[in-house]
């Protein structure tokens, strides 16, 4: 009897984790036991980053120390800044994200040290510097002067400052913070499993995160938020939405931003992100994307019983905030660095080389014939 094959490791439990879980009893994604939507309501992103990396929500002193450490590590080396200026202007920002983390690995004095203490220091450097590097490319490719980070600004405020030279209304900063919280972690997804697989060979943390970024780039994972915006741009206006989505379904086209391997009756992150999408749309006085959103969602549920995932509301929210579409997934990166890092640390702590088996279906044993006889 042939081995049973679980394509995509569907349903296979490969390890244990304390970082996150979708808890069916409360129908919610949880980080260290806390519902993600509750964290959005009561915490800022830095608190959640601390929680994911350290296991508990911080008190005021712990949060202050964490924020000070992150802000202290924001500054990029002159070499990295010059490298960013030389990157091709048409390079995809996800390729830039992957490359800058790799360069940080070249520069970091602790790259070869895989002790817990050294890894936590490296996590903070990657976490602090990656958004600065991405914002630098955001400016550089437009021919604009690179804006240095400011220590007095929060994580989200600083990213807006470095990209646009100004900070928007606090409601928009909050919406951005919420998106980072919702994107921060999601158990053994493709990119996290990639990071853990790399780590299992006892490679370094920069290499593991570089690999995770490459994995996240794909449209079936993190790149979906970009694809959602491309879809909405194709629809153009609400009057076209009903016909467009029905035609897409008739042709059996893949509709991005819908469905999820884990959630079968709806992504628990969507209601929170949809709420903040609405708030940003109201501030921007732009209801077009919301109308398109609602029509497409309604048809997808009625015809296919497939619900949206978090990428569906996040894409148009980032667009309304002013970000270029190809920067949506890099924003995902600067958030998910926290989840990846927590899993990398967890993998190091109880490591076993990840090495699955494959069922061979090629030719049976063959004898080699000399070149002149073939």
Query: Any idea which residues carry the catalytic annotation?
Result: 221, 260, 311
Tokens 């029509």 correspond to 295
Angle of the 170-183 helix axis to the 270-283 helix axis, nearest 10: 160
Which residues are 258's β-sheet partners? 308
Q: How far apart are CA 219 and CA 98, in angstroms?
A: 16
SS3 content of the chain, % helix, strand, coil (to 5): 60, 5, 35
**Nearest CA to 307 among 317, 319, 299?**
299
CA 171 to chain centre: 22
Provide DSSP, 168-236.
--HHHHHHHHHHHHHHS--SS-HHHHHHHHHHHTT--HHHHHHHHHHHHTSTTTTTHHHHHHHHHHHH-
Alpha carbons 12 and 236: distance in angstroms, whole number: 41
Among 289, 212, 291, 296, residue whose Cα is nearest residue 257: 296
């Amino acid at each position: 009897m042939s081995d049973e094959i679980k394509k995509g490791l569907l349903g296979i439990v490969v390890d244990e984790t304390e970082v996150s879980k979708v808890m069916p009893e409360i129908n919610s994604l949880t980080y260290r036991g806390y519902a993600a939507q509750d964290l959005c309501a009561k915490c800022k992103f830095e608190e959640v980053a601390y929680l994911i990396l350290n296991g508990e929500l911080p008190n005021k002193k712990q949060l202050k120390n964490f924020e000070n450490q992150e802000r202290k590590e924001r500054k990029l080396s002159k070499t990295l800044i010059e490298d960013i200026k030389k990157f091709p202007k048409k390079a995809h920002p996800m390729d830039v994200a992957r490359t800058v983390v790799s360069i940080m690995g070249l520069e970091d004095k602790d790259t070869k040290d895989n002790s817990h203490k050294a890894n936590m220091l490296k996590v903070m450097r990657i976490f602090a510097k990656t958004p600065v590097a991405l914002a630098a490319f955001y400016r550089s490719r437009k021919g604009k002067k690179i804006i240095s980070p400011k220590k007095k600004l929060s994580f989200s405020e600083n990213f807006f400052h470095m990209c646009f030279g100004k900070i928007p209304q606090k409601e928009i900063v909050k919406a951005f913070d919420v998106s980072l919280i919702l994107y921060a972690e999601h158990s053994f997804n493709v990119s996290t499993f990639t990071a853990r697989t790399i780590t299992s060979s006892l490679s370094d943390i920069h290499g593991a995160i570089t690999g995770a970024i490459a994995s996240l780039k794909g449209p079936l994972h993190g790149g979906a938020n970009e694809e959602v915006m491309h879809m909405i741009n194709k629809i153009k206006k609400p009057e076209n939405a009903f016909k467009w989505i029905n035609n897409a379904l008739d042709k059996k086209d893949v509709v991005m931003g819908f469905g999820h391997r884990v959630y079968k009756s709806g992504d628990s992150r969507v209601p929170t992100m949809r709420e903040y999408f609405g708030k940003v749309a109201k501030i921007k006085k732009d209801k077009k994307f919301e109308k398109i959103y609602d029509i497409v969602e309604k048809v997808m549920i009625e015809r296919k019983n497939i619900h949206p995932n978090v990428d569906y509301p996040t894409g148009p929210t980032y667009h309304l905030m002013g970000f270029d579409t190809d920067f949506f997934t890099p924003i995902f990166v600067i958030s998910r660095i926290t989840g990846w890092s927590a899993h990398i640390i967890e993998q190091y702590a109880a490591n076993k080389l990840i090495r699955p088996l494959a069922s061979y279906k090629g030719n049976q044993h063959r004898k080699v014939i000399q070149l002149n006889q073939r």
